[in-house]
A and B are shown apart, each in its own frame.
Chain A
Amino acid sequence: MESLNFQNMLASLSRFWADQGCVIALPYDLEVGAGTMCPETFLRVLGPKPWKVAYVQPSRRPADGRYGENPNRLLKHTQMQVILKPPPADIQDVYLASLESLGIRLADHDIRFEEDNWEAPTLGAWGIGWQVMLDGLEITQFTYFQQCGGLDLDPISVEITYGLERIAAFLQNVPSVYDIRWSNDHSYGEMRLEEELELSVYDFEAASPVACRTLLDTYEAEALRLLGSYKDLKTAESKKRFPLRKVYELCLKCSHLFNILDARGAISVTERVALIARIRKMATQVARIYVGRLTPQAVETPVEAQPA
């Protein structure tokens, strides 16, 4: 069988998880380091309400940039993110079935779940789980979230994050991610190589540390201003109107600027720890407000997941 091209892989996985009852959300329209940072994960794993979602999320890690020269490493890679809250008892089997949907015949392969616990200090989030290895290739991070935004989770969510370029290169048997067939007519390189080079140049060389720092301070000040105003809100109605997701977006902006400054080599030893703490403080406040708003009335009102 001809292996799937990249866009058909995305479609197959989305179809698979939709069939499992997941809402298929849109990719988030901000720079994030991982699908975990999107509100569909960060916020919705909080609180008691069950939730099933899957989405494709381009994820940026400036320090991983290689100017498009390294065949296996990308500044911006593509994740397929799945959240199941609470996880079904057969979740590992369901996940393995999703690999079959990509044309991976499990009987032909050696699949291992190797211990790999996950932690995101800027989000106050951590979990327990594995990296899933397919014939020695890490293809998925599989995590039972334990905490998010510094809060213990109940119920627990399972997060399944596929690294799509790796899986595609493996399935298509190509030596470089840039050789992946995106569609039948276009390669991954045609779609993304120039972008990798340009983003690498900016993050490693061209970014102005002064400008990045100023932006970071400005976004943070705006977020803190809004957070400061929340405590004056007395009524449930006014709390409901509080632009919590905007505060979270500002926090994500800060996180990305931090990553650029870090890749740029512009962060000193003591500053680094302090910056992480500043971002975590915003994220944990957002989480607390989100959970606090989940009063009995609020639980009934949020956007309902539509059955696929």
Chain B
Amino acid sequence: MNGSTVPLLVEVGCEEIPARFLTDAERQFGERLLDALRDGRLLPVVPESRANGKGSTPNSELRTPNPGTTYSTSRRLVAYIPSVLPNQPDLEEQVMGPPAKVGFDAAGKPTRAAESFAAKAGVDVSELLQVETAKGLYLAANKTTPGRTAADVLAAALPDVIESVTFPKSMVWESTGVRFVRPIRWVLALLGEGDRARPIRFDIAGVISGSESRGHRGAGGNALEVHSFADYAQKLRKHFVEFDPESRRQSVRSEVNVVLEAWQEAVPDPDLEEWVVNSTEWVAGLRGGFDPRFLELPREILVTVMRDHQKYFAVEDREGKLQPYFVTLLNRDRDSRGVIRAGHERVLKARFSDAEFFWNADQKVPLSQRYSDGWLERVTYQANLGDEGSYAAKIRRMRLIAEQLSVELEGQGRLDGGQRAHALRAVELCKCDLTTQMVQEFTELQGVVGGLYGRAQGEPPEVANAIYDHYKPVNIEDECPRSVAGAIVSLADKLDAVISGFSVGLEPTGSSDPFGLRRAGNGIVKLYVETVPGLRLSLGDRPGGNMLEFFRERIEFYLQSVGLRYDTARAVLSDQASRGWQVPSDVLARGRALEQVRDTDDFQALAAAAKRTRNILTKSAKAEDFGDNKKVNPDLLKASEELELYSAYQAARSELGSFEAALDYAGALRRLAQLRPYVDRFFDKVMVMDSDLAVRANRLRLLSELDALAFRRFADLSEIESVSGGTEAGNG
């Protein structure tokens, strides 16, 4: 370590921080602290790029040269910076004073103005300089501000560092009104180590910082006097605090293996693992069991109860069959007496008994009766819709959408009468599970419970499956429903959400999307592409411009998520493209074809010609330049290059039509690329804006036909970036 620097350790101790906020809070805390050290000129290397100005610091700068590390537990945010300057360097700067002629009289003697300026700058009058500026000769002084100690600078800066960490939901708890995620109960701020370690003292929310940390609350929560980072690490671990989240993550994995038998496996669950890591200070595994009779309940319900309500990992054998066991991770050391296991087992038994009770009670009124008796009239879907705000009203709207989709799919020969009946039946029943006790208790199982109940109550499997699947896909990675009937119900549900949401002004704005319409939109696009390809978006009678733009953005998002470059997506979604963009599967097919051919030399040249053509047609030429002719007059084509281009694209016309009819867009685009030499020669040799107005008009017609036939037929080729620029996302 550099002898001229000292280490800094800061720990903010809180009451339990919500697990979902912890990782981001740790990151913010580290960044704010580094910002403060940099602003306070306390980092050993001050990069030149500071000249770029505040706020422009690129991320990489934060990591070089290894400025520090952050950690966190459910009760603390920790940052360790190994090398901090013990004192700020003196700040030398030139300060400007009054004009020279004010500072010195005609005899060259200093005036009061010069004397008071010198005094303010802390220099003798004889040390004043004269500097030539745009406004004339001015007095100046080289002022030296002595650097303060790191302890002083940090005592002033650290409260702001802590308070600048922001949370989606914060609180006040004491009289100074500081906002934080949960009450701050202690702060450790230690500069230096060993004998030279000194606490940095400041006051935040009524807490005085010092050199003490605390152990795990369950182990007594003793105050621990800390002398260095190594001392901190050793003492905390001795008192059951593992402050490094990555170490806790490893513990989760190893503990699960320790408590399970070789033939048992925990059902993988990354979200639950993350939750455990961020809601603990120490991790120990525990395996418990439950009465095998509960295995008669559906797996979905058992796993949901264990995972979402009890934060347990479910256990299965190597064949994936659920076993009557669970694993939970304790926020403490091992349960040596078995008391904790017994407690968890009793709680789980009560939970499963509840589920069993709900299952039996719910069967007394089948979904079909809940539907026909109008139970959904009283369940609110969206209050802003007024009289149309109930789920019953939503089902009526969904039915209309489903019928429309069925007609279109039957037209394609992709749906028969039986499937149609199943889909419409599933629409009627799909929301009835909202009135069941099971879903009121386990809301995340809506849809799934409807499917399970439908099956148990004798609905055809196709209907039950369509209900079961109808929330899918919940996001762009999720699977689609397994049947066309399921896709119809899902589409009807999501299309209604978007259409009715937009109708009462609930559309997403900026980062706010309280009703999840973007997610619904993503699901809609995925379904149109993957399960009902060939259909045009069904957006009601008069979709507004906002909704069209909304769907275009959703399709663009989808195209990029499957790997299309942003300018490819833009080209196929352009309003210029004559095939339009409202058949999502067709947009994807064209996008994929464009990806195949766009990097060839011929196609790149063609894209450049498309841009040039568009410029001429829309910028250089005026409306009157086009004359009265609607079509190219071959008799007016004088130059051989324009004649050849004309013949070439006439020859391509019928072939392109065949490719298009066969939806062979790659073939069509390759055929287009063959026009390149003719296009190149045309632009080399032919002057479009000819002085002969008739010739000029005819050439503009020629380009206009070429544009429609080639450059914006399948995609707007003028949107394609050249190879060098094409891979730079966000460029343009």
Contact = CB atoms under 8 A, between A and B. Distances in A.
A170 B20 CA distance: 29
Contacts of B16: 112-115, 130
Interface stretch (A22-30, A70-78, A229-237): A70-78
A106 B339 CA distance: 11
A136 B386 contact: no
Interface stretch (B376-384, B413-421, B492-500): B376-384
A93 interface: yes
Contacts of B172: 146, 156
Contacts of A134: 343
A71 B355 CA distance: 12
A144 B346 contact: no
A72 B378 contact: no
A155 interface: yes
A86 interface: yes
Nearest to B332: A110
A163 interface: no
A205 interface: no
B500 to A, nearest CB: 14
Nearest to A72: B350
B344 A135 contact: yes
Nearest to A146: B171
A268 interface: yes
Interface string B368-397: 000000010111110100110110000000
A110 B16 CA distance: 14
A303 interface: no
A106 B218 contact: yes
A110 B347 contact: no
B339 A109 contact: yes
Contact of B15 (A113, A137, A270): A113
Given A136-B310, A137-B347, A269-B378, A114 B279 contact: yes
A154 B353 CA distance: 44
Contacts of B182: 128
A115 B169 CA distance: 11
B378 A156 contact: no
A270 B171 contact: no
Given A137-B347, A156-B174, A170-B346, A70 B357 contact: yes
B520 interface: no
Contacts of A190: none
Interface in A113-159: 113-115, 117, 128, 130, 134-137, 144, 146, 154-156
Nearest to A92: B15
Contact of A270 (B169, B218, B386): B386
Contacts of B337: 108
A107 interface: yes
A69 B337 CA distance: 34
B354 interface: yes
Contacts of A144: 171, 173, 183
Contacts of A69: 357
A112 B279 contact: yes
B28 to A, nearest CB: 18
Contacts of B340: 108-110, 135
Nearest to B19: A115
B216 to A, nearest CB: 11
Nearest to B286: A110
Interface residues of B, number: 52
A144 B350 CA distance: 29
B218 A71 contact: no
B175 interface: yes
A111 interface: yes
A92 B183 CA distance: 11
A67 B390 CA distance: 28
Interface string A48-69: 0000000000000000001001
A105 to B, nearest CB: 8
Interface string B195-231: 0000000000010000000000110010000000000
Nearest to A268: B378
Contacts, number: 110
Interface string B267-304: 00000000000010000000000000000000000000
Contacts of A115: 16, 18-20
B74 to A, nearest CB: 8
B331 interface: yes
Contacts of B383: 269-270, 272-273
A87 interface: yes
Contact of B353 (A71, A86, A136, A155): A71
B579 interface: no
A302 to B, nearest CB: 21
Contacts of A106: 218
Contacts of B175: 86, 154-155
Contacts of A292: none
B330 interface: yes
A268 B374 CA distance: 12
A101 interface: no
A211 interface: no
A270 B389 contact: yes
A93 B217 CA distance: 9
B88 interface: no
Contact of A70 (B347, B354, B386): B354
Contacts of B311: 136
A156 B173 contact: yes
B185 interface: yes
A267 interface: yes
A265 interface: yes
Contacts of B217: 92-93, 96
Contacts of A137: 343, 346-347
A1 interface: no
B348 interface: yes
Contacts of B185: 89
A170 B390 contact: no
A270 B20 contact: no
A112 B331 contact: yes
Interface string B173-198: 11100000011010000000000000
B328 interface: yes
Contacts of B353: 71-72, 175
Contacts of A265: 375, 378
A218 interface: no
Contacts of A87: 173
A173 interface: yes
Given A128-B182, A156-B173, A107 B328 contact: no
A148 B465 CA distance: 46
Nearest to B221: A93
Contact of B354 (A73, A109, A175, A273): A73
Contact of B344 (A71, A92, A136, A269): A136
A144 B174 CA distance: 10
Given A86-B175, A115-B19, A146-B172, A268 B377 contact: yes
Nearest to A135: B343
A89 B185 CA distance: 7
Contacts of A146: 171-172
Contact of A170 (B19, B332, B343, B375): B343
Given A70-B354, A89-B185, A107-B218, 18 more contacts: A72-B354, A86-B175, A87-B173, A108-B340, A110-B331, A112-B279, A115-B18, A134-B343, A135-B347, A136-B311, A136-B343, A136-B347, A137-B346, A146-B171, A154-B175, A156-B173, A269-B378, A269-B389
Q: Which 3 A-B pairs have the closest CB atoms?
A: A135-B343, A115-B18, A113-B16
26 contacts: A66-B357, A71-B350, A71-B353, A72-B350, A72-B354, A86-B174, A89-B183, A89-B206, A92-B15, A93-B221, A107-B218, A108-B337, A109-B339, A113-B16, A114-B279, A135-B347, A136-B311, A136-B312, A136-B343, A144-B173, A146-B171, A156-B174, A170-B343, A170-B347, A268-B378, A269-B390
Interface of B: 15-16, 18-20, 169-175, 182-183, 185, 206, 217-218, 221, 279, 310-312, 328, 330-332, 335, 337, 339-340, 343-344, 346-350, 353-354, 357, 375, 377-381, 383, 386-387, 389-390
